[in-house]
Amino acid sequence: MAFPPTFEELIPKNHPVRVVNLVIDQINLDPLIKKYNGVGCSSYHPRMLLKILVYGYLNNIYSSRKLEAATGENIYFMWLSAMERPDHNTINRFRSDRLKGVIKEVFTQVVMLMAESGHVDLQSIYTDGTKIEANANRYTFVWGKSIKANKERIAKQLEELWQYTQQVAAEELKDTSPTQFTNITSEEVSQTVEKIDKALKDKPVDPKIRQKIKYAKRNWPNKLNEYEQKEQTLGERNSYSKTDSDATFMRMKEDHMQNGQLKPGYNAQISSSHQIIVNYTVHQTPADTKTLKPHLLSFKQSFGFMPKELTADAGYGSEENYEFMEQNHIEAYVKYNYFDKELHEQANSNGKFHPDNLYYNKESDCYYCPMGQPMRYKDSKIEITDTGYKRLLSRYQAVNCEGCPLRGKCHKASGNRIIEVSHRLNELKKKVRERLCSEKGIAHRKKRPIDVEPVFGIIKQNRSFRRFLLRGLDKVSIEFGLVALAHNLMKMAQ
């Protein structure tokens, strides 16, 4: 050891750290470099910091303090950093602030390099999602239903006070216009309580009523202000965590109690090709159905085009998604509910009564129930989903259900049975069914579980990434982008 060995001698030629170094050296980091204004002390080069972060995520090192320690203890990190030792604050600021709005572009450049080298196919992708727990308290939460119930309770009590005041002091309220108690605001409540208090001022009133008015004046306006702020934070969601207001409570499969408890988390969506992630997005909604459209739009924003083929499970099968993929010329190999039951003829005992299983005569626009009785067209209605998509539903009503021996199994409602049918959805499902049952569709269905699902196994089990470290949707998206980038580089190194 009279002549100390160099890093080049200590690091094997086929080691993953060399792949990380080589790939990140090839990508354009101008958008990241522009975030530095060049004023003040000299900064650590962003390319070096990015290499440290990516290689850290590749080796299950996610903490900025552990990354700081690794730059002084681990020869691979020492080689990447050229013996520089950025502290944990620098690493964390770089990850949280500098990579904002840039990490997706960096990830896309790496995917394009892999596409040019033949590692991935951007025309045929497999899509799936998983829930990842947020860095938030599991027991401090806000529920939309609870807010709604509390507002209704205040409105009900306010209406009772108003009715009582009209009985006791009708003369004092004769010039007051009728008060509405729907969609009440803090200002309306404050004004109404003030009117009630003024009208009952010199009247002999039950002390409990006086106490209630005093409590309402002191608490209700503030409470309603609080509820309005919480509703603004909720948006279209039904819950959020007080620790991380961007996190939504979702049912997690991975749970120490093994009973699918609700925890604050995010819905991470990926598209893969040969077990390599080609696109990722992070969402606040638990349902996969609502994530497909923004996920595909993100794909187009990254690469400038839509994929030609997409394969996914039944969680993505909806009229809106089928319509969107058809409009964008994407061959959808996406299952819908009951597809597997239809395929294996395992329909439940009530399957024959389902509207999809009733015979439809297109010429006469009429359905027939299992007893052969006609169900004639009644009317149509437009249903608007949470995402703003409009569905046209046609309603059909049976002619006579009285005395039918199958009525108890067919439906429970009084009167003749009414069914609602989306003919557009049935048309789209027919196309998808034919596509899924084709030779190519069978091949895609067989490949999907061994292409996209193992990626989540690698990330959660092998990489031990089951919980985010950062808080907020923007920072969580950065963190998952680093996870996806590290996964791809490891695949390239294998």
Q: Which amino acid is at 384?
A: I
**117: nearest Cα among 274, 305, 330, 295:** 274
More confident residue, 200 or 283: 283
Q: Are 312 and 290 in contact (CB under 8 A)?
A: no
CA distance 33 to 27: 12
In the chain, the domains with their CATH numbers are 7-99 (no CATH), 124-134+253-340+432-488 (3.30.420), 142-240 (no CATH), 347-423 (no CATH)
Predicted pLDDT of residue 349: 43
Per-residue tokens: 141: 């939460």
CA distance 131 to 250: 8
Predicted pLDDT of residue 347: 45
451 CB neighbour count, 10 Å cutoff? 21
CA distance 385 to 373: 32
Q: Are 131 and 264 in contact (CB under 8 A)?
A: no
Which backbone phi and psi does 268 adopt, to 5 degrees? -95, 125
pTM over 0.75: yes
CA distance 223 to 186: 8
Q: At what angle do helices 64-73 and 46-58 cross, to 10 degrees?
A: 100
Tens digits of per-residue pLDDT, 158-179? 888 888 887 777 666 665 655 6
Q: What's the angle, vertex CA 43, arms to CA 41 and CA 49, rounded to 5?
A: 160
Tens digits of per-residue pLDDT, 45-81? 999 999 999 999 999 999 999 999 999 999 999 999 9
CA distance 307 to 312: 13
Residues in Cβ contact with 377 at an 8 Å cutoff, skipping those fewer than 6 apart: 365, 366, 394, 395, 396
Tens digits of per-residue pLDDT, 291-340? 999 999 999 999 999 999 999 999 999 999 999 999 999 999 999 988 88
CA distance 47 to 190: 57
Predicted pLDDT of residue 348: 47
Q: Are 270 and 279 in contact (CB under 8 A)?
A: yes
Tens digits of per-residue pLDDT, 472-490? 999 999 999 999 999 999 9
CA distance 65 to 58: 16
CA distance 80 to 53: 10
Q: Which amino acid is at 392?
A: L
